[in-house]
Amino acid sequence: MNYTTQMDAAKKGIITKEIETVAKKENMDVQKLMQLISKGKVAIPANKNHKNISAEGVGKGLKTKINVNLGISKDCCNIDIELDKVKKAIEMKAEAIMDLSCFGKTREFRNRLIDISPAMIGTVPMYDAVGFYDKELKDITAEELLNVIETHAKDGVDFMTIHAGINRETAEVFKRNPRLMNFVSRGGSLLYAWMHLNNRENPFYEYFDKVLDICEKYDVTISLGDSCRPGCIDDSTDPSQIKELMTLGELAKRAWKRNVQVMIEGPGHMALDEIKANMILERKLCHDAPFYVLGPIVTDIAPGYDHITSAIGGSIAATYGADFLCYVTPAEHLRLPDLEDMKEGIIAAKIAAHVADIAKGIKGARDWDNKMAHARRELDWEEIFKLAIDPEKARKYRESSRPEDEKTCTMCGKMCAVRNMNKVMEGKNINILRDDD
């Protein structure tokens, strides 16, 4: 039996190799997984032309996934440096990599990325359009914008951010409700500017059926972009954000009728006490489509530490319904991240995802923590390092300050509660001031 997309296969009861892979990774019954995919509650972004992908599922009941952003820009256009980041992200087992390249040899970098990556690959075609045609934004035609989408699809991109929700109606809501930070979505701001300069409807909204034609042909998952995501906590949960979210929900239903998989993108900057309500709103307005969030960043005062502000928000968001976390690095708002920034961003996002999986009761999530607790009780340092989310950093800290008693650390020494409780429970004496017998 033939099928066009993973969603089409699931509706027809066909177990694709990608569905089988995800079911095994998630320890989920394959029939249950197919039911979730057929209803749009789970997506498996896997372009037919991405031959070496190790498929991942994003959505309801699955482990929280993380995405790593990278790519070349006009100010930092060294492809080899970005490929080093790609290799590190793969080594650190990021489930997704988004190529946000916006200058120079974008296609060369994208093709090399897809060739080497088992992780799913995402792009934002709007970023690429100006450089792709070497034309000013105003002069790019709607047809040319659609052609960029098709080029990315042919190359093997698994999911694309398409800012189709910022239509004229949403733009009017934005104009009537001024914001402190206006738009901070790069793609959304470019489309808003294109619409304004050409006095035209957003081509991705106007020609959404043509976008679906492309995505169905190559099985590209649409990540419906949030042009109106808040760029500061003062702008969160405002009329523009909610109006766009309603539009994204309508577009998701149109995509599912064509068997095109969908993810919904979400905030952004947001105060802690608004996160739960926003997750509920997305689930309701977007019909349980997988939710992909940037952060949320829960305070605006921490440049240089936004991997932390993002991890705080991300763990809460994923606990209450987000399925996919876009990492944020310490360089956010300041510069293109380097390799070390990227590593810190990945670790922070992985922590947030795991914290949420424990809270959501994802099968097996607590096992890792229980193994770590057992290793700590045994003061088995090698096992502790092996289980650590960042073994290199854990070992480096341990070796930088050696204790008198090798079983302990330099915080407590022989006053170590674990050491002493082990001895008491074994019926042994506790020698703190003297050497053990």
d(CA 82, CA 205): 32
228 is in an annotated binding site: yes
Flag whether pLDDT at 436 surpasses 70.
no
What percentage of the chain carries pLDDT values higher than 70? 100
Reported confidence tier of residue 74, pLDDT bands at 50, 70, 90: confident
What's the mean per-residue pLDDT of the chain?
Answer: 96
d(CA 275, CA 281): 10
Residue 105, pLDDT score: 83
265 is in an annotated binding site: yes
Report yes or no: 95 and 65 within 8 Å, Cβ to Cβ.
yes
192 is in an annotated binding site: no
327 is in an annotated binding site: no
Report yes or no: 212 and 258 within 8 Å, Cβ to Cβ.
yes
CA 20 to mean position of chain CA atoms = 22
Closest CA to 131 of 151, 154, 115: 151
Domain extents for the chain? 6-360, 365-425
**40 phi and psi angles, rounded to 5 deg:** 85, 5
Give, in order, the Cα–Cα distances in Å from 65 to each of 26, 77, 126, 179, 424: 12, 28, 24, 31, 43
d(CA 286, CA 291): 9
400 is in an annotated binding site: no
Q: Pairing mode, if any, of strands 120-123 and 96-99?
A: parallel
pLDDT digits 0-9 by tens, 340-377: 999 999 999 999 999 999 999 999 999 999 999 999 99
Give, in order, the Cα–Cα distances in Å from 54 to each of 81, 98, 332, 365: 24, 16, 29, 21
C-alpha dihedral sign at 248, 252, 254, 258: positive
Flag whether pLDDT at 418 surpasses 60.
yes
425 is in an annotated binding site: no
pLDDT digits 0-9 by tens, 135-169: 999 999 999 999 999 999 999 999 999 999 999 99
Residue 432, pLDDT score: 83
333 is in an annotated binding site: yes
The architecture in CATH of the region 6-360 reads: Alpha-Beta Barrel (3.20)
SS (H, E, C) 171-236: HHHHHHCCCCCCCCCHHHHHHHHHHHHHCCCCHHHHCHHHHHHHHHHHCCEEEECCCCCCCCHHHC
Residue 42 per-residue DSSP state: E
99 is in an annotated binding site: no
pLDDT digits 0-9 by tens, 372-416: 999 999 999 999 999 999 999 999 999 999 998 888 899 999 899
185 is in an annotated binding site: yes
pLDDT digits 0-9 by tens, 161-185: 999 999 999 999 999 999 999 999 9
77 is in an annotated binding site: no
376 is in an annotated binding site: no
d(CA 243, CA 239): 6
Task: Kindly report the pTM of this predicted structure.
Answer: 0.95
Flag whether pLDDT at 29 surpasses 80.
yes
The stretch 297-304 carries a mean pLDDT of: 98
Reported confidence tier of residue 46, pLDDT bands at 50, 70, 90: very high
218 is in an annotated binding site: no
Flag whether pLDDT at 28 surpasses 80.
yes
**Strands in 71-202 per DSSP E:** 96-99, 120-123, 159-162
Three-class DSSP category at 335: coil
